[in-house]
Amino acid sequence: MAWKKHLTQEEKSAYHEKKQSEMSELFQRIDEGVKEVFTSEKYQEYLRFMAKFTNYSARNCMLIAMQKPDATLVAAYGKWKQLGRQVSKGETGIRILAPMPYKRKQDEQSEEEESEETEGIAFKAVSVFDVSQTSGAELPCFLDELHGEIPAEQKKVILTALQKAVGIPIAFEDIQGTAKGYYSASEKRIVIRTGMSDAQTLKTVFHECAHKLLHDPELKTQTVHASRSEKEIQAESVAFIVAERFGLDTSEYSFPYIASWSQGKPLETLHKVLTEIQSAAKILANAVETGLQALQEEQAETEEESPVFCDISM
C-alpha cells in the first residue's frame, strides 16, 4: 500500500498558492499570445498550428504553440503508454488547461427547502507530451492527404459528412458572377459553383459551411454580430484550418486585414472569436475525418487488407 503524506495546513496553503500561481501564469500567457497573434503573418501561422490540433481548444493550441512551436501530435503520459510509446527520460511536459466539470450543493435556506445543486467547469494545469518526445511502437495513419483529382467516392463521402455536420443541403449550380459559392440563411442551403477543381470545390465548401456554423442568425455566438468583411475573414480562417488539416494547398490564402480588424476590440472578444473559429473547424474536420475513416475501413474489409501504418514521428 502506497504511503500518503499528511500535509500540514501551512503546506496545503503553500501547495494551493503554487497551483493558483501557475494557473494565473498560464492564462496570462494565453492573453499575451492572443495579442501577438493578431497580425497578418502571426495570425496565419497560428491557424496553421491550429490545423494540427483541431480537437484542442483555441486556448490550449495557444499554450502548445508558445511552449513547443514544432509540436505535431500531443497526448498525456498515460495515453502514450496505451499506444505503446514511452515518454523519453528528461523530457519536459507541455502545460495546458484541462476542464474539470463539478457539481456543488448550495447551503440549505431552511429545513423545508432542499439544497440546490449548481454545475460548472473549473480548470487545472496538466502536462502533455509531443510525439517527438516519445519512442516506441509506430502509430496508425489512417488518412491520406487530399491532392489533385480526388476520387468520386471520397468526394461523395466528404460532402455527405459535411451536409450532416451543418444540417443543411449542399447544392451544385451554375452561379452568375464571380462567386465560387454562397450560404443562404433564408433558404437554409449552401450553393457551390460547378466546374471547379476538386481542391477548389472542397475549400469553397469548407468556407460556406463555416458561414453556417459561425453566422447563422439563430445562433448566439460572438461571430454572428460581426461585419460582413469580418465574417469573410472568419469563414476563410475556418476553411484554411480544415484545408491545411487535410493537406490541400493553402498558399493562396491571405489575411492582410486581420490587424485592422482586431484593432480596438476587447481581448475577451478576440478570445471568443478564436474559440468559435476553432470550434467550427473542429466540427468540419471531425466530420471529414470520420467519413474518410469509415470509407477506408470499408474498402479494407472489401479488399481483405489491413490499414496502412506510418511513423508520424518522422
Encode pLDDT of 63-92 as tens digits: 999 999 999 999 999 999 999 999 999 999
**Count of domains observed in the chain:** 2
Residues 166 and 129 in one domain: no
DSSP bridge partners of 121 = 101
Average pLDDT over the chain, rounded to an integer: 85
- Same domain for 171 and 258? yes
End-to-end CA distance of the chain: 41
Integer-rounded Cα radius of gyration of the chain: 23
The pLDDT value given to residue 216: 96
Let me know if residue 144 belongs to a domain: no
My answer on whether 103 and 174 are in the same domain is no
| Cβ partners under 8 Å of residue 22, min gap 6 | 95, 125
Residue 308: inside a domain? no
- Report the percentage of the chain scoring pLDDT > 70: 82
Q: Are residues 132 and 273 in the same domain?
A: no
Instruction: Tell me the HSE value of 210 on the side-chain side, using a 13 A CA sphere.
Output: 30
* Spatial separation of the C-alpha atoms in residues 80 and 76, rounded to whole Å: 6
Q: Which residue has cell 509540436?
A: 71
**b/e per residue, 75-96, with b = 16+ CB within 10 A?**
bbeeebeebebebeeeeebbbb
Same-domain status, 88 and 158: no
Model confidence, pTM = 0.81
Do residue 131 and residue 187 come from a single domain?
Answer: no
Q: Which helix (H) or strand (E) holds 227?
A: none
The verdict on 171 and 95 lying in the same domain is no
Note whether residue 117 is domain-resident.
no
d(CA 188, CA 209): 11
pLDDT at 3: 47
Asked if residues 274 and 34 have their Cβ atoms less than 8 Å apart, the reply is yes
Residue 245 lies in a domain: yes
Q: What is the SS3 assignment for 85?
A: strand
Cα(284)–Cα(151) distance, integer angstroms? 20
Q: Which residue has the higher pLDDT, 134 or 309?
A: 134
Mean pLDDT of 140-152: 71
In a domain, 231, yes or no: yes
Q: For residue 188, give the nearest of 161, 215, 167 by alpha carbon.
A: 167
Q: What is the pLDDT of residue 239?
A: 97
pLDDT band for 33, please (50, 70, 90 cuts): confident
Per the domain annotation, does 101 fall within a domain? yes
- Which of 17-31, 32-46, 182-196, 250-264 comes out lowest in average pLDDT? 17-31
Same domain assignment for residues 62 and 195 = no
Separation between Cα atoms, residue 34 and residue 288, nearest integer Å: 28
Cell numbers given for 154 = 471520397
Residues 157 and 103 in one domain: no
Task: Tell me: pLDDT of 310 over 60.
Answer: no
- Residue pair 169/163 in contact (Cβ under 8 Å)? The answer is yes
Same domain assignment for residues 186 and 263:
yes
Query: Angle at CA 114, nearest 5°, toward 109 and 118?
Result: 90
Residue 228 lies in a domain: yes
Instruction: Give the model's pLDDT for residue 76.
Output: 93
Assign 312 a pLDDT band (cuts: 50, 70, 90).
Answer: very low
- Both 16 and 74 in one domain: the answer is yes
Gap between the Cα atoms of 196 and 180, Å rounded: 8
The reply to whether 5 falls in a domain is: no
62 touches 27 (CB < 8 A): no
Residues 6+ apart with CB under 8 A from 10: none
Give residues with Cβ within 8 angstroms of 256, minimum separation 6.
40
**Same structural domain for residues 191 and 255?**
yes
Question: Can you give the residue range of the structural domain that contains 170?
Answer: 152-303
Cell digits for 217? Answer: 442568425
